[in-house]
Structure 1
């Protein structure tokens, strides 16, 4: 494919320079001309998995506005390709680009289950919910092959330890029986990401995720099985999905969600360059408007790193979004309570079996 051709089925349209590298790469015209003359593609668009064996797997989350204490990420990088994803920057720590590399070079943490079990057996560990995943989606497509998330859930069930899931993939229903067992002891909540009701929007903004129809069906299936589900409409992107707040909250309420959360898009680190390049190619007619509106909620910048402000933004547009969610919750989610996960069963199961004495 030509360098400037829109890459279908992927989010990022470019690789950006890794800030930790002294040298950068340039795709020269003479190289592209040579590839074209030879009939060769100048790059491979296939997804590559790379097996890794980290020393630890449970991460303490220090950010005060994230809403979780500990996270566990079985994969690094994400094939879903969501163009706005804040996790893209973390791929640079592994020596890759936050752009196309993030979607095509996926690190698989092969020893994740053993590391989790070791952590839960530690005498110093006290039960507190561990969330799958705080960074990249634990049910991205390669989970179907590697089944690491499935085995992590089995481990949480074995130890009667509270956990949570954040995903936008209907693959979660494969593990419905395990999740039902966890829910029976109030050991799990699911955060299902649904950013739009428009399949056209989903396809271009989140190219390799489950369809909107499948996500709504997933929500309904989970709640019909007494599994508590909160929907995340994250992020709100001005002039792309910002007009959908009330109809989306109405839809998810009718399908049993106990609550809804949101963030306003912020393009931190390399994501600003990646998103700007993408929207100028994907939505050239509204690119300038969207970028200016994003800047308007972050003090004139595409990003704001201040805790407590960065997720919700400031200014007129941010206030309008907040008011819409307030109205939507009052109309459709009134009196629905957030469950509190059970941390009392773990101590009896610390060794992986019920203590009798």
Structure 2
């Protein structure tokens, strides 16, 4: 960890050793190296500290413009360590460094926490190696925190600090070379999301999306928990009612993809009616129908015909209540009605959802 408070002796030494100026200002010597920066895409590069040795954060919690790395050549003294911070623009991501030939350039990367220390109203900024850095995989978090606090106590006289953000800091090799930073535009996530799903009441639980990529952090939400419940993380749905529900799927942006959102319209049709009997009256002018009521549906549609294929409807009736469990179907041709069928329907979102027919012979 390097202390970057401008009043310290460390920065006085750094200022003497550091030569952050465009190339050509100093005569070449074996103790210097030149770094030429190039860039593609939309984003910014920052040095870990500027020509005066100031940290790349200023007093207003923003990047110091004096640390902005322009597309020019810089000459450095070999002794001080130089690092680059890549900041992609909104909707872009950082895709690594390339050399002058376009080949991948692997720079040593360190995960750091940018911290702010406030002492008597004055703000100081520093960076410490983050606990998320792989080098601490065998270190307990309590031990890590104790070490950081002890170091801050020695430097600042306090153990209190606030983490502003966590960054990847890339160490620049101490040799003359060209470094190109590549920023690429994020693409919409590719996800096989159905526009609609057709389900029937009493169907088994199902997943809104059958195969969700493991690297997608998706959040699921239902428009009506009375009709359909959904696990917000897995998308596992359970049917609770009849009608039309909408499942919204939101996928957070990843390193290479933008945020995505989809809606799935789920049609939950009434189940088959439990039809118990259809008995012709003695005067042959009506049929008494009985079934087990479906209190979730809006009503029932009943038809009678002479043949089991119902090629010609001889009688029909609409029952406009799901609570009803029996009715009489009147027809002048009751004697010719050999078969009767019934199905439930549901009115939802200005649409009619019909269940499957169930039929029995008329006695």
Q: Which has the higher contact order (CA 8 A, sep 6+)?
A: 1
Name the structure where strand makes up a greater proportion of residues: 2
Which protein is richer in helix relative to its size? 1
TM-score in terms of structure 2 length: 0.23
* TM-score, normalised by the number of residues in structure 1: 0.23
**Which is higher, the Rg of structure 1 or of structure 2?**
2
